[in-house]
Each structure stands twice: as C-alpha cells, then as structure tokens.
C-alpha cells in the first residue's frame, strides 16, 4: 500500500488504510472552504471553455441543461449543509444534494452532456458525494465514491480533483511504469545529443545543450516524445482503474459471508519489458499528469481518446503546449509553484516564437539533489547573452502546490518580454533514477534479494531506509550550515551539506553531485560504473563487496559480475576539467588515498544516496489546527556553537571520537546487550558534555537516530528504554525535522504507542514532541494510558529530566484527542477519562501554571460529554487558578475559561450555584466583575453571550434594587445579540444563554426550562421522562439543604432574573424576541418560543408594574401564529401557556377576544393533552363579548342501526366503549375509539327489556336492570362484559343506580326501593312515582311526578323534599324525567313550566343556580365538563353552555316519523355525543 509499509497487508489493513487516508483527505477538504471554492471555479472554467468551443449553431437540449443544473444545485446544497449548524437544515440539504448529485454520478461515461464529457461530470459528482457521506458519518460509502471517481475518470482525478490522494493510494504501485518511462525518455534524449555513446548515464546533460541543438531536433524525435508521453499517460490511467477496482473489492469483501477468495493484489506491468529491472525512485522530471489549463476545456482529452486504441482514457498530448505557460518562481512565496511540463513543442512553433524574441531562452529541467522529495536544486538556464533566465518547474515538483492559472494572453506577454522559455529538454540525472531502498523493500518483485541483504545489513536496515530517506527531506527556506567537524566526519554525510538556492551558490559550495561518490562523499578518483548504471569510487565499492555484499548499494539489484568494470574515463575527464576550473573545491572534496576507513552499516552508506519518496498517509494529513495553533509552552533552545562553550572544539571532537565505537555498535551490532550498554554509555557521555550543541548535531544523524528508535522495539530494559526516549526527546526538541521523519514512519509511531500502552510514561513526551495528527493518536487507544500517567503521582526515575514532564505531555495529548475529531469521538474519549476516574487528578493539575489551559479544556470536554460530572468538578475544583488563567490568558484562553465557569454555575441546586458564583465573584487577585465587563466590550462576538450571562449572574447575587452598570451592560449585550439577524449563530447562543439564567437544570446538569414549562401546563410526560431517566444517576445532596430551602432559593432566583430582564429599558427584550420568532430557522424559533413563554409566565407571577401591555403587543400575534400553524405538540402547548397568562389579564380580554374563534377550534383538539386547556376553553366560551354559538359546532357521523333489537332504552360511554341496552333484552358493546363506532360484543342474558344501565364510580362494574325483575352485575373487560351475579329483586326495574353496597331502583309503584345485594329490597315510600335517579355518596336523589325531587338518606333510610315544583292544573302533572350530578351540581330536566324545563341546583345549598329556558319537555339529559345536552320528545337535542347555562345550539336528532330520543351519553372529554332513539338507532356527533 503506502510507501512506508514494509510488509504485505491483509484485507482488513487495506480497508483500514483506505478509510483513514480517504477520511483524512475529505476532512481536510471539508475544513478548507477556499480549496472547495477554488476547485469549483477550476471545474467551472473547464466547462465554460468547452462551452466556448462548441459550434454556435449546435443545439443544447433542455435535458442537458437540467443535468448541469442538477450538479450545480447539488454542490450548492452540499456547501450549505457544510456551513450550517442546524441539524434539521443540514439533513434536509444533504438529502437534496444526494438526489441532485446522483443524477450526474449515474451518467454514461462514454457520452457527452451539453458538449461536456460525462466521465468528468460523473467523477466530479462522486467526489462531492464522498463529502456528503462523510458528513453523514458513513465512511464506507465515502471511500467507495472516491474509488468510483478514480475508476470513471483517472486522468482528471489525478490532476484536478484529488492529486495528493492519487499519489498516496496509487503512485506507489506505478513504480514499474515510472521506471520504464525513465529509461525510454532517457534513451530519446540521448538520441538528441551527438556522440552520446561516450557519455555515462550519470553525466549532467545541461552542459551539452545549446540553442542549435534544440532547433536541430527532428520532427520524428518530437513525435516519439509525444507518443511516449501518451502511452505513459495511458498506462497510469489503466493501472489506476485496476487498483481502484481492487480497492473496491477489498472494501466490499466480507470474509465471514463471502464464499469467494479474498481479492488478489494486481500486478502493474509496464507498457513494454525493460532490459533490466528499473529504478523505483521517482526522477523529478516524471509527471503524473500535465497541468492542463482551465481554458483548454476537454477537447485535448477527447481528441486523445478518439485517437487511442486502448480502452483506457489518455492523458493530454503535448500539442496543447501552445496554450500552456511555464510558472516562474516568486521568492516571496512560501513554496514552489508548479509549472507546466511539456516536452513536445513543435519545431515550427519554436521557430515562429524565435522571430518575436530576440533573446532565445532555454529552460533546463531542475534536477533533484540528495535531500529528498520536496527539495530540488533548480539550475537556471543560460540565454545567448549568458544571463540567467527564470527557473521553471515540473508539474510534480511540489505535489502540495496548486497549478498556477494559465491564460494565453499571459503567455503572449511573457513571450514578448523574453521571459518564457520556448522549448525545454529535461536534463537526466542518473542519481535521481537510483532506486530508493524504501521503495525497493515495498514494491520490488525480487524481494528475496532484499531479504537476503537484510541479514547482512543487520537488524535496523528496513526501518532505517525509509526513515533516513525521509530525514533528508529538508525545506528550501534557508541555507543550512554545518560545523566543521561534520565536514571532516568519515560517516559519509556530506550529503547533508547546505542546499543552495541558486546556481552561483551551488557552484561555490559543492561540486556537481555526479562527480561525488555516494559512498565516500568525495570526488571520484577512479570512478567505475556498475551494470546497474550506478557509479562508485573503485576502492569504496571493492570494500563493499569484500564485506560479502552482492548487490548494488543504492538500487539493491543483484550484481552478476564478480569483477569491477574498467574506469569510466569519460566521467574522469569531465572531473579533471572541472577541477581545473574550481581548484579550491577540488582540494576540499578530493578523494583520499583510501576509501572510508570503516564502513558503517549499509544503512549509513545509503545515507548519501538519492532519497526516495515515501507515500505515507500521514504525509498528506493536516497536523491538526488545535495543536499547530496552540501556543508553544516551551521555548526552543537555540543550537549554536559559542566561544564560551563549556568544552572546546577539540574536546568536542575527542568526545565524538569516543562515541564512534558505541555509535557503531548501536547501529550495526546484533548483540542486544551490547546495544543496550552503548545506549547507556552514549547517554552518560551526553550528560557529561552538558548537552553540547555540537554533540547534539552529531547525534542527529539519521543512522544514529534510527539506532535509538530500533532500541525501543528491541529492548526490554526499562532504563534503556527511558534513556533512549530521553535522547530522542532532546533531539526532536532541538530539531523538528527529526520529529517529522519519525512521525512519517508509521512503524516508529506504533512502537512509541505500544510503549505508552505498556506503561512507559516517558513515551508520552516523545509522542507529544512529534506533534502527531489526531487520526494517528486516535487509532491507538491511548486515553487509558495517558489517564494513568496523570493519576501517577511521581515518576520512577527522578534522575532523568525530560524537556517536559510526562504528565504535562499526557495532558497535552489528552487535550488534542478531546478537541479533535467529530462530536461522537470527542464524547467517547471524554467518557474514557471519566470512567478511569481521571477528573480528580486533572483538577489537582490546575495548581501548575504550565498546562493549566489544557486541563480546563479537558474538563470542559468532559462536562459536555457527561453533564453528571459537573457536580463532581464544581465541588472539588479550586477556581482561583481558573480565574488567574482568565486574567492572564489570550482571547482563546479567556473563552475556554468563560465556558468552563458558565457550566459550573448551571447546577440543579440553586444554593450551591449561588455559592459557586460567590466564589467566582470574590476569588482572584483582580475584580472578576470588572475584568468581565472590560473583556465583554472587546471580546469576539461568539463569546459575548456567555460573558454577559456570567456577569449578570454575579450581579444578581444581591437584590437588584439599584442600577448596576454590570447588569445594564450584560443585558444590553444579550438583547443586541438577539437582534443580529445576519449572525444567526450569535442569536442562538444568546437564546441559550438567556434560558440558562432561568435556573431550571436537571440533576445531571442539562437545561430543562422547556420541560418545566410543559409540566406547568399539565403536559408533564417530557418532564417525568427526563426525571425518570436521570433518577438513578442523581447525585446526593452533599450540602444537606432541605427541598423547601432549595425551592425557595430557586423561586427567588427565577423572579430576580425575570424582573431585571422584563424591566430593562421598559421591556426591550420582548421586541427582540418577536424578531427572533419570525426567523426561518426552526432551532432559533423553538428556543425563542421557550424563552418568550418563560418570560411571559414569570411576568404574570410578578406584580404588575406596567410591562404586561408592552410584552403583549409584540408577542400576542406570534403566540397565536404558533398555536395555529405549528405541527409540534410541545410548541402548541407552550404557546397556550403564554396565551393563558394573557387571558388571565382583564386588560387583555378585548385583544384576545379577536382571536377567540380560531383559538377555540385548535384548543379543543389539544384538550386531551393538557388539563389547562379546558380552563382556557371555558374562559373563551364565557367571554362576555363572545357569542358561544359562533364557537361551537359539530359534525354528524353515520348512524349505527340496531332496529332488529328493538328500541334503545339506555346508553353509556366507558373507556372508549359504548354500551347500549335494548327492548328485546340485548346488551351491545361498541368500540367508539374511532369516529365510526363498531360492534364488538352482543349478549342477551335478560329475558325481557333492559330498561337501564349504570356504571360504578370505579368503572369496574356494570349494573343492568330489566323488566324480568332482575339486576345483573357485569365485569368490564377490555373487549367484552361478563356477567358475575344475578339478583332477583321481585319487581320490575325501571331506573337504577348502584354501588358496591346497595342498589337503588324504581318500579311501577310509588317510592324507591333499596337493595343491599342480599335479602329483600327495602321500600321507601313517599307517595310519588319516581322517573329518574341520581346518587352521590350516601344521598339518593329521586326525580318524581309533581315536578319534585326527593332526597333519600341511604344510611337512615329516610326521605325529605329537596325541591317541590308548582302544579299546573290545566296541563296535568309535571314530572322530572332526568337527573344528573356533575361536580357538586344537580341538573334536573322535565316538563316545561313557565318556559323553563330544567333546573340547576347546588347540592351544598339546595339553591337554584340556573334554569334551562326552553319550551320543550326534557326527557333525557347528559352533562360533561363544558356543555349540557337535553333531548326532547320531538327528537331535538339542545346544547347549553354549562358555565353560564345559556343555550348554544340545537341538533335535529330524529328525522321524521314518531321517533324520539330515548337516551344520551357523551365521552369524558366532550368530543363525542351519542343519542339512542326509539327506532333502534344510535346517532353520533363529533363536537369540533
């Protein structure tokens, strides 16, 4: 896989590598908005260029335009989802973006859309879909879309969409193709130079190029170069598709379910078989895709596609070079820009350009020096006048740098000025073709040779190769100067000499690298060129072979010949000529009589070789802004040699000479004990020299560093391990490049992580100094180990003083793990710390100034992950260090401290909160309130709400009686934040801050103002659920306050906060809340609704001081709108609670009455959810200015026909069931849970008509009376009734009421009979016929003839007259036909007397409190919470308002005939009305 992998990876490792690499790439793209904008602009320019190339007469279909529009809309929607913080909006935009992008992703890649190749559009869509799935935390799909992009369009994927990702995932496998291209291109260039047969492959071609040679290039040679580039591009694209398919197979393969074998690693074959195995190093003229101008569109690609015989896509041919422009280096830029690399300019074009340019320019390809991938020596070409021309760069010179924009106008301008090269031929540097040991170990097919060599090279060669090659990757930002002793060292480290910035400095500082032996580091005396193409000093290579090596030191290719070839006289003559021109340098770098006195390990020999590229996934990742932007805690020591040094230069050389045997042992010995002893000896000598900078520089060599790293994985001695870590930490601390090298080698970091997990605390220091990326840290599960370090009180070895304490390093690493990653990973990491009981140890670390900010940040993350730990932290933490950090820190530190303090004062115990606030107010060397006020005026906008909230709470510790500048400034800030329409995030933060002031917090520290308000409104499900979930986790009340004290303190605090907010500038906050309620953001509107409801509720709990009218004007319409339009039940109830407060205000009744009708209909639908709504309905219905008839309405439901069972004599509604009795003795049970009732049971146990039904107060039993002289007791079950008892009462039962003790019934005679469920019924006679009964407690009320009501005492069996009506002689006797008792009120209905057919009595006073004024006789009656329903003989049902006893409406029940209403019943909520008729039908109405 990646270049730093030294072993074959199984399928799981490949999937993990793909997920990590692609995930890191996408995360970087998601964080870099400018990069996404630039990429969109670049793609848009290509589309625009193609559109400009279309024929004007060509027609673009509407469907094509729709496809392009879908792509554009999808990308825009994705960008909106990335930028928004609202989860509902994010999900909605992501869903929309997915639909739009899928349209383009599924296009046929062989077709075009509006002239644009579909493969380009599809690949672009797949790239954006990978972003989309990453936002939805689906890394699997994200990786698949990335691989699909590379498969559909490998060309533009590697030059436009994701070049850095291609170089990580695919380039390491293209080594054979690159090697073939290197050889073929070298051969073509050699054909251009006359007499090239005498030249060595290592010769520098720059000196052989001149203008006449360029213009003498034949067209067939140019064509060959073009064909080579074309075939090379085809091969890269084909193999990219090959590996993309392989990666997809690995991703989709499941070893547990699949019967197929695991995917096989594909083999990349070059276009033709090379003469010998080619180098795997990457010459710097190799290009992996030309820099195609955006203005070029797709025509070159499509033209190349049409001409290609192969099925794969071709790269852009060199005919596009006329549209390209070479980039010039700007010394002010931080890095090197990429330039165009087009080697095939037509000869005719060259001559044409020459006519317009008096100065013909020749640009020579920059070549790589021995310093690594990123560092290149750029040699400016010479023009005819001998002046240097601007340097040009390869498109791959700087893989991380974007291509400069290119325009044809710019090219023409540069051509006129003579600054642009007309034609370029790359100088071939043989050393740049040398195979990297690192890449050889990873990708070479001949691994047997490599393994055989490892045995000879010793235990450290494999790791050393990649580490050393990376060690030389220095940035060309300045000139590095080494001490004199380094130049005299015989370690072969001359390759570490400074990197020149120009040809002049290069020529004065070192000889051409091809003149220097890579083994000895000296100028060749007797150069010999081996069969591998590499040139060495004869004596040096002889010594190499004497040591038993049979491979080339650089390429690692086996050597077939045992004897050395003849001297390379061509190279020797060139060296001689150079020595005559540069005698000083020749003397300095002259070769000694003998080669190296002693060879170090093969790894050290290769330290001077051409470095390899390492394709580690970590090389492409962002190091993490949270770590890079963190203020460095430790000042870096300046390494320099001083005249006042502790030891002299001579002593230093003596120490170094003394170290050399131990260094050699460390790097080459196979004896572990010897190496361990060498480490301890080196450390002792290091300390004796008092860490002299010169010795420090000596130990920083790659081979030595590799030796120490090897000890970390080989040794089991803790002292040796700690000593190695100590030396490495010192080296990394002084030279960041060493750390960059170690972090790039994954196995090294894995070793350090393993040591840390095994309990070696000092490993945390080295890991911290390496500054790893979050992805590296998070993949090793280091949190338990880091937490354990913090819990450890003292280090075991006090004599080793690291640059920082392991505990400090552990805290810093924990901070990086907790602030990096997504929200889910942060929560998991914080929970790991909490579960390991790390919070108390972290609190103890606040005493140290260094690392204090990290501790506060970690504690804050723990609070966010588990609010329950807030109480623990608040009870243990000392706030003085936090306040000191706030006073002395920068804006970032102040913001963290403010967030931390705000969390600590949001506790469910008000008394404890006040104590914490008092400590904050009084602790510290400075006035906290004054410091907060000053910082509030200059703080960033996102921090202001939290600061204002904290400042306001500190001010409210005392009664807000006087004006306070702190309070005024804090509230002004919060209101101002609410009004910032252009900054919705600031508005949301302000609303969150205001809600936190209410003090309603759960036991685990979660705000619950909304749940508390819903509980006040009677909708307590959410509140009870919240409390029930946290009940098991609730902390005990450590301070011992009683509940009464807590409630008193909470109520007092709440009133203080509401008072100051409502009265600030005469209710200015209500106007600001109105503006927020109008916002389109769902999250903001919900928060604002909760805040406004709480303020209104509290406002009416406070004495009226004239603010109520001010609050009602802006918010009344808003609450009505929420009630009518919101689809959320909780929002409706919140709005209702606020409106209830307005209704309770007499001054607001007229304003509320205007909305009464629309409110009433909505509230009736909500009445089941909150008992408070019933009160509101009554209030609205009883408003003096309201006509109740306008509010009430009903809808009739189809009849239930039971005419076969005769007349319906009685109806009951019970728990969603209707029970009806019929004249044929049948009892039916109906399901009335839905609007259309249905029959579920029919029983017939009575032999005659069932005249009456009655349900006990507990609703568990049903009593039925019949003409068959029996009373039956029924058990009520879910879907049926079951007869339990049958009582023969010896008389017909006409009316019945009962309970568990007695049954009272009337028969055909006078009086009433009382049956105690045993024996004979007792008759109480009062000489009147009883027509209706009602019982409450021990009192029985009987509606009798003569329009009177008798009261019977069931305990004494005595009767008295409750009410006696007047007798009308002309009309006969009047009768009370129906009695109902509801909430202590007796309702009686009967014959109409003097225009009144019913009376309403108070049972307590027996006084008449109302009358039902109607001219119809009332034969049956029903009463619910809101209305009275009365049925007349003629089939009309009249509806009366219960509160005011006025008629509301009339319902025509029986249509035509002689049918009459025999019974009425209503559900408990008053939503349904049912009427039984003499025709055997049940009619129903929905009361809306």
**Residue 1372 above 60 pLDDT?**
no
> The whole model's pTM is what?
0.53
Give the confidence band of 1398 by pLDDT, cuts at 50, 70, 90.
very high
Considering only 76-90, 203-217, 288-302, 347-361, which range has the smallest mean pLDDT? 347-361
Write the pLDDT tens digit of every residue in 1288-1303: 998 999 999 998 889 9
Query: What letters, b where the CB count within 10 A reaches 16 and e where it falls short, cover 1033-1059?
Result: eebeeeeebeeeebeebbeebbebbbb
Q: How far is the C-alpha of 916 from the C-alpha of 906, rounded, in Å?
A: 10
- Return all residues near 235 (Cβ < 8 A) that are at least 6 apart: 174, 177, 270, 271
Question: 1030-1039, long-range: CB within 8 Å, 24+ apart, which pairs?
Answer: 1030/1002, 1030/1003, 1030/1004, 1030/1006, 1031/1003, 1033/868, 1033/1003, 1033/1004, 1034/1003, 1034/1004, 1035/868, 1035/871, 1035/872, 1035/1003, 1037/909, 1038/875, 1039/909, 1039/911, 1039/912
Give the confidence band of 1327 by pLDDT, cuts at 50, 70, 90.
confident
Q: Across the strands, what pairs with 1313?
A: 1305, 1323
pLDDT of residue 989: 93
**Residue 1243 above 90 pLDDT?**
yes
**Residue 1206 above 60 pLDDT?**
yes
Closest CA to 165 of 70, 36, 24, 298: 24
- Residue with the bigger pLDDT between 265 and 26: it is 26
**Residue 835 above 70 pLDDT?**
yes
- Residue with the bigger pLDDT between 1314 and 792: it is 1314
Q: How far is the C-alpha of 990 from the C-alpha of 949, rounded, in Å?
A: 9
Q: How many CB atoms lie within 10 A of CB 822?
A: 11
- Residue with the bigger pLDDT between 561 and 198: it is 561
Write the pLDDT tens digit of every residue in 729-743: 888 888 888 888 888
Q: What angle do CA 849, 850, 855 make, to 5 degrees?
A: 85
Three-state SS string over 876-940 comes to HCCHHHHHHHHHHCCHHHHHHHHHHHHHHCCCCCHHHHHHHHHHHHHCCCCCHHHHHHHHHCCCC
Considering only 351-355, 1121-1125, 1435-1439, which range has the smallest mean pLDDT? 351-355
Closest CA to 1450 of 1460, 1442, 1438: 1438
Ranked by mean pLDDT, which of 166-175, 308-317, 586-595 comes out on top? 166-175
pLDDT of residue 1155: 85
Query: What letters, b where the CB count within 10 A reaches 16 and e where it falls short, cover 1361-1376?
Result: ebbebeeeeeeeebbb
- Return all residues near 1462 (Cβ < 8 A) that are at least 6 apart: 1207, 1208, 1209, 1210, 1419, 1420, 1476, 1477, 1478
Helix and strand numbers (H, E) in the chain are 57, 35
Give the confidence band of 463 by pLDDT, cuts at 50, 70, 90.
very low
pLDDT of residue 797: 44
Write the pLDDT tens digit of every residue in 666-702: 888 888 888 989 889 888 888 877 767 778 788 888 8
pLDDT of residue 1268: 94
Q: How far is the C-alpha of 1318 from the C-alpha of 1285, rounded, in Å?
A: 12
Write the pLDDT tens digit of every residue in 128-151: 999 999 998 898 899 999 999 999
Q: How far is the C-alpha of 385 from the C-alpha of 594, rounded, in Å?
A: 44
Q: How far is the C-alpha of 1220 from the C-alpha of 616, rounded, in Å?
A: 82
**Residue 337 above 70 pLDDT?**
no
What DSSP letter does each residue of 946-966 carry, written as one string? HHHHHHHHHHTTS---S--HH
**Residue 62 above 50 pLDDT?**
yes
Total residues found in the chain within this entry: 1488
Considering only 235-244, 582-591, 723-732, 928-937, which range has the smallest mean pLDDT? 582-591
Ranked by mean pLDDT, which of 136-140, 207-211, 464-468, 1469-1473 comes out on top? 136-140
Give the confidence band of 265 by pLDDT, cuts at 50, 70, 90.
confident
**Residue 437 above 50 pLDDT?**
no
Residue 1200's H or E segment, with its range, is: strand 1195-1201
User: Do 1220 and 1482 touch, CB atoms closer than 8 A?
Assistant: yes
User: Do 847 and 881 touch, CB atoms closer than 8 A?
Assistant: yes
Q: What is the mean pLDDT of the chain?
A: 75
Structure tokens given for 839: 């919070």
Considering only 574-578, 861-865, 967-971, 1452-1456, which range has the smallest mean pLDDT? 1452-1456
Give the confidence band of 199 by pLDDT, cuts at 50, 70, 90.
low
Structure tokens given for 1167: 């009445």
Considering only 50-59, 648-657, 783-792, which range has the smallest mean pLDDT? 50-59
**Residue 519 above 80 pLDDT?**
yes
Write the pLDDT tens digit of every residue in 887-911: 888 888 999 999 999 988 888 888 8
Give the confidence band of 260 by pLDDT, cuts at 50, 70, 90.
low
């Amino acid at each position: 896989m990646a270049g730093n992998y030294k072993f074959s990876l199984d399928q799981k490792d490949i999937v993990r590598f793909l997920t990590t690499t692609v995930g890191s790439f996408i995360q970087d793209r998601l964080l870099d908005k400018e990069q996404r904008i630039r990429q969109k602009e670049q793609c848009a320019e290509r589309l625009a260029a193609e559109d400009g190339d279309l024929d004007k007469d060509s027609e673009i279909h509407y469907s094509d335009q729709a496809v392009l529009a879908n792509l554009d809309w999808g990308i825009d929607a994705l960008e909106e989802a990335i930028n928004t913080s609202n989860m509902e909006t994010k999900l909605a935009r992501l869903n929309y973006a997915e639909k739009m992008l899928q349209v383009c992703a599924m296009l046929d890649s062989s077709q075009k859309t509006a002239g644009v190749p579909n493969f380009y559009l599809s690949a672009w869509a797949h790239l954006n879909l990978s972003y989309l799935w990453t936002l939805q935390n689906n890394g699997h799909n994200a990786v698949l879309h990335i691989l699909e992009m590379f498969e559909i369009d490998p060309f533009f994927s590697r030059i436009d969409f994701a070049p850095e990702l291609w170089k990580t995932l695919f380039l390491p496998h293209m080594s054979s193709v690159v090697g073939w291209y290197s050889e073929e291109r070298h051969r073509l260039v050699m054909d251009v130079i006359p007499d090239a047969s005498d030249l060595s492959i290592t010769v520098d071609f720059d000196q052989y190029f001149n203008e006449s040679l360029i213009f003498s290039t034949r067209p067939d040679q140019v064509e060959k170069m073009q064909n080579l580039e074309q075939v090379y591009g085809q091969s890269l694209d084909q193999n990219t598709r090959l590996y993309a398919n392989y990666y997809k197979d690995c991703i989709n393969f499941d070893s547990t379910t699949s019967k197929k074998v695991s995917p096989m690693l594909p083999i990349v074959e070059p276009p033709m078989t090379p003469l010998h195995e080619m180098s795997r190093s990457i010459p710097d003229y190799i290009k992996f895709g030309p820099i195609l101008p955006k203005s070029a569109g797709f025509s070159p690609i499509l033209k190349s596609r049409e001409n290609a015989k192969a099925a794969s896509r071709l790269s852009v041919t060199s005919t596009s070079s006329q549209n390209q422009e070479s980039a010039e280096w700007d010394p002010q830029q931080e890095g090197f820009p990429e330039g165009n690399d087009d080697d095939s300019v037509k000869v005719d074009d060259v001559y044409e350009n020459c006519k317009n340019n008096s100065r013909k320019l020749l640009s020579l390809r920059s070549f790589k020096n021995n310093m690594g991938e990123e560092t290149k020596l750029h040699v400016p070409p010479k023009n005819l006048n001998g002046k240097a021309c601007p340097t040009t760069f390869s498109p791959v010179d700087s893989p991380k740098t974007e291509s400069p924009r290119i325009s044809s106008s710019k090219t023409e301008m540069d051509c006129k000025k003579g600054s642009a090269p007309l034609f370029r031929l790359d100088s071939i540097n043989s050393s740049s073709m040398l195979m990297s040991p690192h890449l050889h170990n990873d990708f070479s097919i001949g691994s047997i040779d490599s393994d055989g060599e490892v045995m000879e090279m010793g235990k450290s060669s494999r790791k050393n190769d990649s580490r050393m090659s990376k060690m030389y990757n220095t940035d060309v930002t300045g000139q590095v100067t080494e001490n004199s002793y380094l130049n005299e060292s015989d370690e072969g480290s001359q390759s570490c000499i400074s990197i020149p910035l120009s040809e002049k400095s290069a020529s004065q500082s070192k000889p051409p690298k091809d003149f220097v032996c890579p083994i000895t580091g000296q100028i060749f005396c007797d150069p010999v060129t081996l069969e591998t193409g590499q040139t060495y000093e004869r004596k040096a290579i002889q010594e190499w072979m004497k040591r038993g090596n049979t491979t080339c030191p650089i390429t690692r290719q086996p050597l077939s010949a045992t004897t050395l070839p003849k001297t390379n006289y061509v190279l020797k003559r060139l060296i001689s000529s150079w020595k005559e021109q540069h005698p000083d340098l020749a003397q300095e770098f002259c070769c000694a009589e003998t080669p190296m006195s002693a060879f170090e390990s093969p790894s050290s020999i290769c330290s001077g070789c051409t470095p390899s590229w390492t394709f580690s996934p970590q090389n492409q990742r962002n190091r993490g802004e949270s770590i890079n932007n963190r203020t460095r805690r430790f000042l870096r020591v300046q390494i320099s040699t001083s005249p006042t040094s502790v030891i002299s230069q001579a002593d230093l050389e003596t120490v170094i000479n003394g170290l050399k045997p131990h260094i050699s042992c460390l790097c080459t010995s196979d004896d572990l004990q010897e190496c361990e002893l060498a480490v301890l000896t080196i450390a002792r000598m290091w300390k004796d020299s008092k860490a002299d900078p010169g010795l420090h520089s000596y130990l920083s060599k790659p081979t030595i560093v590799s030796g120490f790293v090897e000890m970390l994985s080989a040794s089991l001695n803790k002292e040796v391990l700690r000593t190695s870590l100590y030396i490495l930490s010192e080296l990394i601390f002084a030279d960041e490049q060493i750390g960059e090298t170690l972090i790039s080698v994954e196995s090294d970091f894995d070793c350090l992580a393993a040591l840390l997990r095994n309990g070696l605390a000092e490993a945390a220091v080295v890991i911290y100094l390496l500054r790893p990326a979050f992805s590296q840290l998070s993949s090793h599960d280091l949190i338990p180990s880091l937490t354990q370090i913090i819990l450890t009180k003292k280090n075991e070895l006090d004599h080793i003083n690291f640059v920082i304490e392991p505990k400090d390093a552990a805290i810093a690493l924990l901070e990086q793990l907790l602030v990096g990653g997504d929200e889910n990973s942060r929560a998991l990491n914080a929970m790991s710390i909490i579960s390991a009981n790390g919070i108390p140890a972290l609190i103890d670390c606040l005493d140290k100034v260094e690392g204090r900010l990290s501790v506060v940040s970690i504690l804050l993350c723990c609070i966010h992950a588990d609010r329950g730990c807030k109480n623990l932290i608040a009870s243990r933490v000392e706030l003085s260090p936090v306040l000191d950090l706030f006073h002395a820190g920068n804006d970032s530190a102040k913001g963290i401290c403010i967030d931390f303090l705000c969390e600590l004062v949001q506790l469910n115990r008000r008394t404890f909160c006040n104590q914490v606030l008092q400590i904050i107010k009084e602790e510290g060397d400075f006035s906290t309130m004054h410091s907060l006020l000053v910082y509030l005026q200059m703080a960033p906008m996102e921090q202001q709400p939290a600061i204002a909230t904290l400042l306001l709470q500190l001010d409210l510790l005392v009664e807000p009686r006087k004006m306070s500048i702190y309070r005024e400034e804090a509230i002004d800030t919060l209101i101002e934040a609410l009004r910032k329409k252009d900054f919705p995030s600031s508005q949301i933060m302000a609303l969150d801050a205001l809600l936190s002031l209410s003090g309603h917090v759960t036991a685990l520290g979660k705000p619950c103002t909304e749940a508390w308000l819903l509980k006040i409104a009677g909708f307590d499900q959410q509140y009870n659920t919240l409390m029930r979930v946290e009940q098991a986790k609730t902390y005990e009340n450590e301070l011992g306050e009683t509940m009464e004290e807590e409630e008193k303190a909470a109520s007092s605090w709440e009133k203080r906060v509401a008072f100051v907010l409502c009265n600030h500038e005469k209710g200015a906050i209500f106007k600001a809340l109105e503006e927020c309620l109008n916002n389109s953001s769902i999250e903001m509107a919900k928060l604002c609704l909760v805040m406004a409801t709480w303020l209104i509720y509290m406002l009416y709990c406070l004495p009226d001081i004239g603010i109520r009218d001010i609050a009602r004007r802006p918010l009344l319409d808003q609450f009505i709108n929420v009630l009518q339009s919101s689809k959320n039940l909780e929002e409706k109830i919140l709005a209702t609670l606020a409106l209830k407060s307005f209704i309770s205000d007499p001054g607001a009744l007229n304003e509320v009455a205007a909305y009464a009708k629309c409110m009433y209909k909505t509230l009736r639908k909500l009445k089941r959810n909150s008992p408070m709504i019933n009160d509101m309905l009554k209030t609205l219905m009883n408003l003096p200015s309201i006509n109740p008839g306008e509010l009430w309405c009903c809808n009739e439901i189809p009849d239930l026909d039971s005419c076969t069972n005769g007349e319906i004599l009685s109806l009951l509604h019970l728990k969603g069931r209707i029970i009806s009795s019929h004249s044929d003795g049948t009892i039916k049970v109906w399901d009335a849970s839905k609007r259309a009732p249905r029959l579920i049971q029919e029983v017939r146990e009575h032999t005659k008509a069932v005249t009456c039904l009655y349900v006990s107060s507990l609703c568990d039993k049903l009593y039925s009376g019949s003409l068959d002289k029996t009373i039956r007791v029924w058990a009520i079950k879910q879907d049926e009734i079951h007869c339990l008892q049958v009582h023969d009462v010896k008389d017909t039962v006409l009316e019945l009421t009962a309970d568990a003790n007695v049954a009272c019934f009337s028969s055909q005679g006078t009086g009433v009979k009382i049956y105690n469920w045993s024996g004979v019924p007792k008759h109480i006679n009062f000489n009147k016929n009883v027509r209706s009964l009602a019982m409450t407690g021990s009192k029985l009320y009987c509606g009798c003839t003569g329009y009177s009501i008798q009261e019977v005492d069931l305990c004494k069996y005595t009767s008295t007259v409750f009410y006696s009506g007047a007798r009308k002689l002309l009309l006969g006797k009047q009768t009370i036909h129906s009695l109902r008792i509801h909430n202590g009120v007796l309702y009686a209905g009967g014959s109409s007397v003097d225009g009144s057919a019913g009376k309403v009595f108070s049972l307590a006073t027996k006084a008449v409190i109302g009358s039902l004024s109607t001219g119809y006789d009332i034969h049956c009656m029903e009463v619910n919470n809101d209305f009275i329903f009365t049925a007349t003989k003629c089939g009309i049902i009249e509806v009366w308002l219960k509160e005011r006893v006025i008629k509301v409406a009339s319902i025509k029940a029986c249509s035509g005939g002689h049918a009459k209403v025999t019974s009425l019943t209503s559900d408990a909520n008053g939503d349904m009305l049912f009427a039984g008729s003499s025709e055997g039908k049940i009619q129903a109405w929905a009361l809306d």
